[in-house]
């Protein structure tokens, strides 16, 4: 997958995670085992509406389906067949959430609606704009990269998440009967922090790692020198597999914090940063900034097709800047 479509997928999945976390705090709706004598297969303490698995699976799988259809251009028959297979997978995931006793039907339904909306937003309404932004990242000034429509939305969402974290329980305290049911229905409830807003905030911070993807994109497009290999992914299946294995092995140390830093013994905020935010941000940064460079070093990317078009345009821009400076 090329860099533009990879960034579309990244924005899609992390936007879904951020939106569902904000809506969970907004709705304050119970999971089934909060209000009934139902023992779930696993306890999830953050609020239940919308279903996170329904939102993310719908948005991600429909996006992947759309991008693969754009690349391979299948016939109408295979487009329909592949779409039906995608929908079946989404339905199976939703059914599992009902079976496991962690969501209700309306929470699943809202998850589907949001997932489809996010898919349409990024694969249709904003698709060309995102691709244009990625292609022109190397030309943009730093102030534009730091403050644009996308980053402003991100800053706003994080501010809302922080507000919910600090004031959500004050504005909408968790009913005591919910806490009683959670303790009764969850075998490991005594080992858990029964703060729904805090748990929701922790999961929201998974979306924070999109910062790593964005920084990695900027570094790759401006400094690493691999931007010209736009068709790097067009290799045989065994070379593609080798590239995947090599890049995973080289980049795996960025995720060590998720497994090596202890779960207990430190303040929850320190644990959140060391086990989730920092490793995932570094991993995403590596994925966009260095994976293509590593693939080139191990001769596992396609370097036979080099796009010189933008390089010539960049040279013209550079020359024009020099002439303008002389005139001033």
- Specify whether 194 is located in the same domain as 297: no
Q: What is the mean pLDDT of residues 227-252?
A: 89
Residue 16, C-beta contacts closer than 8 angstroms, at least 6 positions apart: 55, 56, 59, 60, 114, 115, 118
Q: Is the peptide bond before 50 cis (omega within 30 degrees of 0)?
A: yes
- Specify whether 32 is located in the same domain as 135: yes
Q: What's the angle, vertex CA 88, arms to CA 82 and CA 93, rounded to 5? A: 130
- Specify whether 179 is located in the same domain as 258: no
- Specify whether 216 is located in the same domain as 165: no
Q: Is the peptide bond before 287 cis (omega within 30 degrees of 0)?
A: no
97: left (phi over 0), alpha (psi -120 to 50) or beta: alpha
Q: What is the pLDDT of residue 315?
A: 44
- Specify whether 193 is located in the same domain as 219: no
pLDDT band, residue 325 (cuts 50/70/90): very low
169: number of Cβ within 10 Å: 14
Question: Does residue 12 have a pLDDT over 90?
Answer: yes
What element of type H or E holds 23? helix 3-27
- Specify whether 133 is located in the same domain as 28: yes
Q: Which of 182, 204, 226 is the last residue of a domain?
A: 204
What are 29's two structure tokens? 């709706």
Question: Does residue 173 have a pLDDT over 90?
Answer: no
Question: Does residue 303 have a pLDDT over 70?
Answer: yes
pTM of the entire predicted model: 0.87
- Specify whether 162 is located in the same domain as 274: no
Instruction: Tell me the CA distances in angstroms from 140 to 95, 200, 212, 232, one per residue in order.
Output: 45, 35, 18, 24
Provide the domain count of the chain: 2
Closest CA to 126 of 285, 4, 3, 284: 4
Q: List pLDDT tens digits, range 50-107.
A: 999 999 999 999 999 999 999 889 999 999 999 999 999 999 999 998 888 888 899 9
Q: Which of 204, 226, 246 is the last residue of a domain?
A: 204
To the nearest whole percent, how much of the chain has pLDDT over 90?
48
Asked if 49 and 199 touch (Cβ cutoff 8 Å), the reply is no
Q: List pLDDT tens digits, range 114-169.
A: 999 999 999 999 999 999 999 899 889 999 999 999 999 999 999 999 998 888 88
Q: List pLDDT tens digits, range 196-235.
A: 888 888 888 888 889 999 999 999 989 888 888 888 888 8
- Specify whether 200 is located in the same domain as 276: no
- Specify whether 3 is located in the same domain as 136: yes
For 168, the domain range is: 1-204
Question: What's the number of CA atoms in the CB half-sphere (13 Å) around residue 311?
Answer: 9
Q: Which of 157, 175, 204 is the last residue of a domain?
A: 204
- Specify whether 281 is located in the same domain as 149: no
- Specify whether 196 is located in the same domain as 221: no
CA–CA dist 43, 109 (Å, integer): 21
Distance of CA 115 to the CA centre of its chain: 13
223: number of Cβ within 10 Å: 11
Q: What is the pLDDT of residue 214?
A: 94
pLDDT band, residue 190 (cuts 50/70/90): low
CA–CA dist 129, 133 (Å, integer): 6
What are 99's two structure tokens? 């079976």
pLDDT band, residue 191 (cuts 50/70/90): low
pLDDT band, residue 308 (cuts 50/70/90): low
- Specify whether 250 is located in the same domain as 151: no
Mean pLDDT computed over every residue of the chain: 86
Question: Does residue 309 have a pLDDT over 70?
Answer: no
Asked if 56 and 16 touch (Cβ cutoff 8 Å), the reply is yes
If you compute the radius of gyration of the chain from its CA atoms, what whole number of angstroms results?
A: 22
What are 323's two structure tokens? 């002439």
What are 307's two structure tokens? 């796009």
Q: What's the angle, vertex CA 224, arms to CA 220 and CA 226, rounded to 5? A: 75
Q: What is the pLDDT of residue 314?
A: 47
CA–CA dist 101, 295 (Å, integer): 44
Which residue carries 């479509």 as its tokens?
5
Q: Which residues of 179-193 are buried (b: 16+ CB within 10 A; e: fewer)?
A: eebbeebbeeeeeee
């Amino acid at each position: 997958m090329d860099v533009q479509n990879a960034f579309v997928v990244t924005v899609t999945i992390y936007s879904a995670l951020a939106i569902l976390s904000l809506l969970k705090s907004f709705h304050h709706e119970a999971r089934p085992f909060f209000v009934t004598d139902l023992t779930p297969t696993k306890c999830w303490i953050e609020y239940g509406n919308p279903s996170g698995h329904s939102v993310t699976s719908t948005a991600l799988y429909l996006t992947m389906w759309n991008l693969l259809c754009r690349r391979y251009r299948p016939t109408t028959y295979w487009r329909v067949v592949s779409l039906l297979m995608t929908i079946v997978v989404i339905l199976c995931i939703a059914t599992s959430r009902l079976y496991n006793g962690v969501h209700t039907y309306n929470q699943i339904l809202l998850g589907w609606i949001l997932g489809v909306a996010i898919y349409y937003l990024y694969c249709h309404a904003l698709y060309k704009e995102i691709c244009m932004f990625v292609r022109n990242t190397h030309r943009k000034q730093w102030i534009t990269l730091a403050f644009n429509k996308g980053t402003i939305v991100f800053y706003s969402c994080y501010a809302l998440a922080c507000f919910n974290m600090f004031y959500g329980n004050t504005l909408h305290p968790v009913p005591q009967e919910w806490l009683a049911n959670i303790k009764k229905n969850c075998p490991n409830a005594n080992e858990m922090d029964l703060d729904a807003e805090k748990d929701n905030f922790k999961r929201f911070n998974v979306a924070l790692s999109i910062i790593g993807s964005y920084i990695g994109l900027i570094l790759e497009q401006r400094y690493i020198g691999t931007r010209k290999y736009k068709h790097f992914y067009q290799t045989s299946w065994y070379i593609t597999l080798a590239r995947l294995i090599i890049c995973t092995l080289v980049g795996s140390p960025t995720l060590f914090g998720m497994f090596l830093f202890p779960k207990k013994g430190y303040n929850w905020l320190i644990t959140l940063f060391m086990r989730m935010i920092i490793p995932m941000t570094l991993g995403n940064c590596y994925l966009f900034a260095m994976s293509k460079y590593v693939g080139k070093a191990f001769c596992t990317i396609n370097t036979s097709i080099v796009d010189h078009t933008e390089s010539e345009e960049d040279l013209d821009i550079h020359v024009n800047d020099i002439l303008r400076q002389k005139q001033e």
